[in-house]
Amino acid sequence: MSENPTTETTRQDAGGRAIIEARNVVKRFGGATAVDDVSIEVAPGEIYGLVGENGAGKSTLMRVLAGILTPDHGSVVVDGRELEAGSTRAALEAGISLVHQELSLVPELTVAENIVLGTTPVQAGFIKKREMKKIASDALEEIRVQVDLDEPIVRLSVALRQFVEIARAIARKPRVLILDEPTATLTPAETDYLLDMLERLAGQGLAIIYISHRIPEIFRICNRVSVLRDGHLVDTVSISDIKPNEIVDKMVGRELKQELETSRTKVAAGDVVLQARGIKAPGVNGIDLDVRAGEIVGLGGLVGAGRTELVRAIVGADIKSAGTVTINTDGTMRRVNSYRSAISHGFAYVPEERRTDGLALTMTVSDNIALPNRSQLSRYSVLMRGKIGTFAKELADAVGLRPPEIQREAGDFSGGNQQKVVLAKWLGRKPDVIILDEPTRGVDVGAKVEIHRLVRDLAEGGTAVLVVSSDLPELLDLADVIHVVRDGRIAGTLSRDEADEKSVMSLASGESQVRGL
Amino acid sequence: MSQAQGIQLGQEQGGLVSRIRVTIARRTEGRALALLILVAIATWITEPTAFTAWEVTLGRVALIGLVALGLTAVILMGELDLSVASTLAVCGVVMASIDNLALGVVAALAVGLIIGVVNAFFVVVVGINSFIASLGMLFFLRGAAFVISNEEPVRLASRDAGIAFGKPFLGPLTPRMVIFIVAFIALQVFVTRVRAGREFYAVGGNREAAYDAGIPVRRRIFTGFMISGFVAALAGVINTLERTAADPTAGSTVLLASFAAAIIGGVLLTGGRGSIFGTLLGATSLGILQVALTLTGVQVDVQNIVIGLVLLLAVITDPNSLRTVVGSARSLFQGRSGSHPVG
Amino acid sequence: MTNEAQSVAEAVVGEPAIEKQPFNLLVWMSSRGIFVFTTVLVVVAAIFIDGFASLDNITDVFNRAAPIGIVAVGMTFVVISANYLDLSVVAQVATAAVVLIAVSNESNIPAAMALAFVIALLYGLVNGVAVGVFKANAVIVTLSTTFIGLGILRWFSGGSIYFGPQDGAIRSFGLAKIGPFPLSMIVLILMTLILSFVLTRTNFGFLVRSYGSNRDATRLAGVNTAWVVIGAFTITSIAAMIGGFVLGAFSNTAVSSMSTGFDFRALAAIIVGGTSVFGGRGSVLRTLLGVVFVSVLTNIMVLSGLGFGVQQMAIGALIVAAVSIDSLARKASGT
């Protein structure tokens, strides 16, 4: 790492008036370091941006600040006093409010009840309704959102829920407000509204830490921005001293090139095998997509852009509200209208959530590999054990499972090797179309290279590959063409030659929109 | 920038009609109400005596409903207490085995609370699924009732108190009905107005959020199981008093009826949704149904069949179940042939 | 742990990534303990309990164990599919016994068996569809089908007791022995072997285990999961039917209340045998050991003069203890 965390600069900027500081915070999970020696300071009235790729450690750092996680080293200091580590209550009392990334409202309780949740005003155990509503309406007033206080959350739109969530944080009279990707589910108009609101709140002296993937938002409201990468603080700069593309550089500029041994040589793509037209589903607003035999099509974009929803709708794992999917392997177009029909027509789907959707962790590797291949491994519905053994062994070897013990439970293996098992079970079906969602998330570097090799081999063998990845170097390395998804639509398509980290990131974050500023 | 122009986020406040519509849409008792109306109309036509003899009907509602009310508290948190029926039996037997009536009642209620604590201990501390923990408890207590009673009904020492208990004492209302109404009001107030009770919805609806908001989730679960244990004990006490004896096999149909009442009432088994009022509606429909069936001369066995069917229908017509059923029913019969060539 | 954190944790663990699990008593007890416990129990009983080791007593243990055991090996499928249990076996066993004796008195045995078989399929279908298609909670579903089933049975039978003819085929089957083993015991062992084969060696059994281990992953492998659940309940129902035949034949009488307690005795045997109530893990053969354990324990209590109540208490406590060990073992091994 060439750049050092620039604590010097930070001090100068914030001076002695910082309200909250993270001092040398280290947080490990198991052997992994999610946040490594990060220090930040935020002053009252400041909007402090925090950016970084998925997995850079932003959310973990914020959870440390909010007392949800106990740091392994370092401390959180508010007004010069060290905060009790890992206590949500202490953090709340010190005036730190976190607006969670995933909504943390209770669906059947009312707006007012959710806003005061955990701090409900009571007298002898009874809820003081008038006071509760007063607190709630004050908080909503503060953010200038009108909503019926007696409405249960379940009847509100996703955007309104997000605002109620913010009202809840505001109701606690915070001095530091932390927002983790608050605009992920909002429309542009709603986002505008939210950003205006934050500027106004900062104007009243609130310190705001704002986490977002979306560069334009950072530029619009933040005074300073810190870039996190792989748990390290890369840089903290004043927003006037940096350009959008420089932030993108800092976010992605890592020394990844050497881990990708071979780049793919362009294969002459064959006929269109997978054709999706007008796909609509929750989070997907009408997408057309073609994948040719032997082609690797990448889907880039930010988390929450609708990529996972799109591929799940295509393969039929979730019900789509509109659109058609057809597959053409032998000259006839066949419409795919259920998940099982997709699988039986040569689809393979490697889901994003490997532990919950991909593997039966308490079963052996051999059994996991046999699961989708059972028809060819059984006769008269009786499993042929010997054949399963050799079949699974062969595939485990092909994907380079380590250790190559197919009779061990899948749960015993590392993330990378579990992912190899997921691949192995689909390789056994010799799929015509394979859809991979974040195939190397949480996978160590060695396994990553091997998984990339397998994906390339599949494409070279004529399989149509559709891959979703938030890992930019991976996407650039694998894909022949990249569709960048934003807000459930394809924001742009980049050929292999046009695509680089910046062009993808620009489309994904809407950075290109800021250039006019 | 554009603060003045703002953005439409909230709903418009409408007139009276739309206010009423909103209020109705917020309720979770729709199914219970539909069943109640259906049962009421059918009863009105075939056996109107069920309404003229409303004391009988109310007594039956109280019998079915009391345990269901306590159970609702637990289900709201997404937990299940299958041990209520045998709690009822054990507490009745404990009460009858003690000669002093007051002492017996206190002991029975205390046992109910302790059972709740033990159930909650296994769920919260050991971390067993509450279905299984309370199922084990169900069997254990059923045995305990036999052991304490020597496998035969125990006569209540003070029979006079029992006989007096069966008589109306507040206008036409018997003590059982009064206790039921009081329990209903107390629990209704608890889950709508008391912070701890309101937080049951948070524990059941979004447990992670409840933890994050600093709600003492474990304590709430203990409270819930203690409520259901206490209420079941109360039902046991009432039964024993009214019958002037405690039957160790009591309550075998209570389990079915109380679950049916709660589930019909719109209480979601996975927690977070439902109301005490809904359970009351559920119990009322079942009570009217039972009385009407009895009056028309239908045997107890057939009544059980009917209630069993109602519970089965209630549990499979849960809105969440229905949503998944569309997808899985389609895939059930579509199978591999579910695709066809286009054009 | 957040996804992000988990991913990082996984990324760094690297490879080769299999940790050697240190010996853990709880894990051992929940998986292998039953072999030792059963052996110890039998040995202790043989030494300390008067009358346990007599031939008559052992035959009696077998006779009582057989119907419950047959139900338990069948119900193992429901438990492994992560659907807790099938409470309605109580109604199913009694129905099969009553149908066998009552209908064969009226017409003949094959007709009785055919009718019982149709009823068993119906039970499997209703329970299976409610749980597998409607995704309803299995405990509540089978609680309601228990009441429906028992209600129908009592309605038809009027609660009366049916006696088989003293010289009929049913009677002679119930009394038949091969050496010291009653024929019912042979049926239990056959059922165990067949169902063990189905669970471990057939496509269907494989899917039941897979579904119990992770239903989403199984669905996403292209499996029609509704049929898996229906199948698991149907196997349980067929086993309950055979258990009912054996029970009816042994006593040569049938009454609607004869199978009280079958639900939890079977569950106790399954759980003590080491099949996890969390689904996915389990074995029919070990359920058989669980049956031996529960039956010997019950027999010891009977020989010691302990009543029905104490037996129920003990078995209730046994279920909670076994599940507690399973749950704590899972926490200890981190799965």
**Rounded CA separation B94/B229 (Å):** 14
Same domain, A3 and A85: yes
**Rounded CA separation A201/A211 (Å):** 16
> Is the Cβ of A122 closer than 8 Å to some Cβ of chain B?
yes
Pairing relation of β-strands A433-437 and A347-350?
parallel
Query: Chain B closest CA to A110's CA: distance in Å?
Result: 10
Share of chain A above pLDDT 70, in %: 91
CB contact under 8 A, B213 and A193: no
Q: In this structure, are residues B113 and B230 in contact, taking their beta carbons and an 8 Å threshold?
A: yes
**A364-406 confidence digits (pLDDT tens):** 999 999 999 988 898 888 998 889 999 999 999 999 888 888 9
- Does A514 have pLDDT greater than 50? no
Letter string b/e over residues B52-75, b meaning 16 or more CB atoms within 10 A of that residue's CB: eeeeebbbbbbbbbbbbbbbbbbb
Same domain, A72 and A116: no
**B254-283 confidence digits (pLDDT tens):** 888 899 999 988 888 888 889 999 999 999
Hey, which chains touch C, using 3+ CB pairs under 8 Å?
A, B
Query: Chain B closest CA to C290's CA: distance in Å?
Result: 16
**CB atoms inside a 10 Å sphere around CB B324:** 14
> Is the Cβ of B12 closer than 8 Å to some Cβ of chain A?
no
Query: Chain B closest CA to A206's CA: distance in Å?
Result: 18
ipTM: 0.86
Residue A286, domain extent: 273-346+431-507
Q: First-to-last CA distance in chain C?
A: 14
Name the closest residue on chain B to residue A118, using Cα atoms: B213
> Is the Cβ of A118 closer than 8 Å to some Cβ of chain C?
no
Same domain, A419 and A449: no
Query: What pLDDT does residue C5 have?
Result: 43
> Is the Cβ of A493 closer than 8 Å to some Cβ of chain B?
no
Query: Chain C closest CA to A418's CA: distance in Å?
Result: 10
Least confident of A21-30, A254-263, C91-100, C154-163: A254-263
pLDDT (average), residues A73-90: 87
With contacts defined as CB-CB under 8 Å, which chain C residues touch A63? 2
Q: How would residue A30 be classed by pLDDT, with cut points 50, 70 and 90?
A: low
Beta carbon pairs, B and C, within 8 Å: 165
Query: What pLDDT does residue C329 have?
Result: 81
CB contact under 8 A, B332 and C319: no
Query: Domain for residue A512, yes or no?
Result: no
Query: Chain C closest CA to B197's CA: distance in Å?
Result: 25
- Does B6 have pLDDT greater than 50? no
CB contact under 8 A, A125 and B195: yes
Ramachandran region of residue A360, left (φ > 0), alpha (ψ -120 to 50) or beta? Answer: beta
**Rounded CA separation A9/A224 (Å):** 11
**Rounded CA separation A182/A179 (Å):** 6
The structural domain count of chain B equals 1
DSSP, res A438: S
Query: Chain A closest CA to C239's CA: distance in Å?
Result: 20
**B48-84 confidence digits (pLDDT tens):** 887 888 888 888 888 889 999 999 999 999 999 999 9
Query: What pLDDT does residue C267 have?
Result: 93
Query: What pLDDT does residue A217 have?
Result: 87
With contacts defined as CB-CB under 8 Å, which chain A residues touch B2? 192, 196
With tokens 């083993």, the residue in question is C181
Closest to A202 in 3D by CA, of A223, A182, A218, A184? A223
**Rounded CA separation C152/A130 (Å):** 55
- Does A516 have pLDDT greater than 50? no
Q: Which of A146, A335, A339 sits opposite B340 (nearest CB)?
A: A335
- CATH number where A438 lies: 3.40.50.300
Query: What pLDDT does residue A54 have?
Result: 66
Q: How would residue A5 be classed by pLDDT, with cut points 50, 70 and 90?
A: very low
CB contact under 8 A, B272 and A196: no
With tokens 């009243």, the residue in question is A204
Q: In this structure, are residues A511 and A244 in contact, taking their beta carbons and an 8 Å threshold?
A: yes
> Is the Cβ of B125 closer than 8 Å to some Cβ of chain C?
no
Query: Domain for residue B259, yes or no?
Result: yes
Query: What pLDDT does residue B327 have?
Result: 55
Query: Chain B closest CA to C304's CA: distance in Å?
Result: 15
Query: Domain for residue A266, yes or no?
Result: no
Name the closest residue on chain B to residue A326, using Cα atoms: B342
Q: Which token pair is B193?
A: 């107005």
Q: Which of residues 196-235 of B touch A (CB under 8 A)?
A: 196, 198-199, 201-202, 205-206, 208-210, 212-215
Query: Domain for residue A316, yes or no?
Result: yes
Query: What pLDDT does residue B13 have?
Result: 54
Query: φ and ψ at A400, to 5 degrees?
Result: 75, 45
Same domain, A224 and A304: no
Same domain, A85 and A179: yes
> Is the Cβ of A63 closer than 8 Å to some Cβ of chain C?
yes
Closest to C242 in 3D by CA, of C203, C298, C281, C186? C186
Q: In this structure, are residues A165 and A158 in contact, taking their beta carbons and an 8 Å threshold?
A: no
> Is the Cβ of B25 closer than 8 Å to some Cβ of chain A?
yes
CB contact under 8 A, B10 and A109: no
With contacts defined as CB-CB under 8 Å, which chain A residues touch C7? 55, 415, 441-442
Query: What pLDDT does residue C8 have?
Result: 42
- Does B330 have pLDDT greater than 60? no
**A447-496 confidence digits (pLDDT tens):** 888 899 999 999 998 999 999 988 788 888 899 999 999 888 999 999 88
Query: What pLDDT does residue A46 have?
Result: 93
The structural domain count of chain A equals 4
Fold classified for C23-333: ABC transporter involved in vitamin B12 uptake, BtuC (1.10.3470)
Same domain, A437 and A464: yes
With contacts defined as CB-CB under 8 Å, which chain B residues touch C311? 143
CB contact under 8 A, A340 and B6: no
Query: Domain for residue B194, yes or no?
Result: yes
pLDDT (average), residues A61-71: 89
Mutate to test the interface with B, among C144, C270, C271 (most CBs of B within 10 A): C144
**Rounded CA separation B149/B155 (Å):** 10
Q: Average pLDDT of chain B?
A: 84
- Does C106 have pLDDT greater than 80? yes
Query: Domain for residue B129, yes or no?
Result: yes
Q: In this structure, are residues B113 and B215 in contact, taking their beta carbons and an 8 Å threshold?
A: no
Query: What pLDDT does residue B325 have?
Result: 61
Q: How would residue A512 be classed by pLDDT, with cut points 50, 70 and 90?
A: low
Q: How would residue C173 be classed by pLDDT, with cut points 50, 70 and 90?
A: confident
Query: Domain for residue B9, yes or no?
Result: no
Q: Which of C132, C226, C316 sits opposite B139 (nearest CB)?
A: C316
Q: Which of residues 261-320 of A touch C (CB under 8 A)?
A: 317
Contact partners, residue A160, CB within 8 Å, separation at least 6: A145, A147, B9, B10
Q: Which of A359, A402, A408 sits opposite C217 (nearest CB)?
A: A359
Share of chain A above pLDDT 90, in %: 40
**A118-167 confidence digits (pLDDT tens):** 888 999 889 999 999 999 999 998 888 888 899 888 888 878 888 999 99
Hey, which chains touch B, using 3+ CB pairs under 8 Å?
A, C
Query: Domain for residue B270, yes or no?
Result: yes
Q: Which token pair is B222?
A: 């203990």
CB contact under 8 A, C141 and B316: yes
Q: Average pLDDT of chain A?
A: 85
Same domain, A31 and A43: yes
Q: In this structure, are residues A467 and A442 in contact, taking their beta carbons and an 8 Å threshold?
A: no
Q: Which of C133, C145, C323 sits opposite B329 (nearest CB)?
A: C133
CB contact under 8 A, A374 and C206: yes
**Rounded CA separation B284/A86 (Å):** 49
- Does C36 have pLDDT greater than 50? yes
Q: In this structure, are residues A201 and A24 in contact, taking their beta carbons and an 8 Å threshold?
A: no
Same domain, A8 and A64: yes
Same domain, A166 and A178: no
Q: Which amino acid is at C210?
A: S
Strand partners for A383: A378
With contacts defined as CB-CB under 8 Å, which chain A residues touch B210? 106, 117-118
**A259-288 confidence digits (pLDDT tens):** 444 455 555 568 899 999 999 988 899 999
Q: Residue B34: in which H helix or E strand, if any?
A: helix B30-46
Residue B175, domain extent: 29-316
**B132-181 confidence digits (pLDDT tens):** 899 899 989 999 999 999 888 888 887 888 888 878 877 788 888 899 99
CB contact under 8 A, A381 and C204: yes
Name the closest residue on chain B to residue C1, using Cα atoms: B208
> Is the Cβ of A154 closer than 8 Å to some Cβ of chain C?
no
**CB atoms inside a 10 Å sphere around CB C53:** 12
With contacts defined as CB-CB under 8 Å, which chain C residues touch A356? 214, 216-217
Query: Domain for residue A109, yes or no?
Result: yes
Q: How would residue A510 be classed by pLDDT, with cut points 50, 70 and 90?
A: confident
With contacts defined as CB-CB under 8 Å, which chain C residues touch B307? 147
**B179-225 confidence digits (pLDDT tens):** 999 999 999 999 999 999 999 999 999 998 898 888 899 999 999 99
Query: Domain for residue A513, yes or no?
Result: no
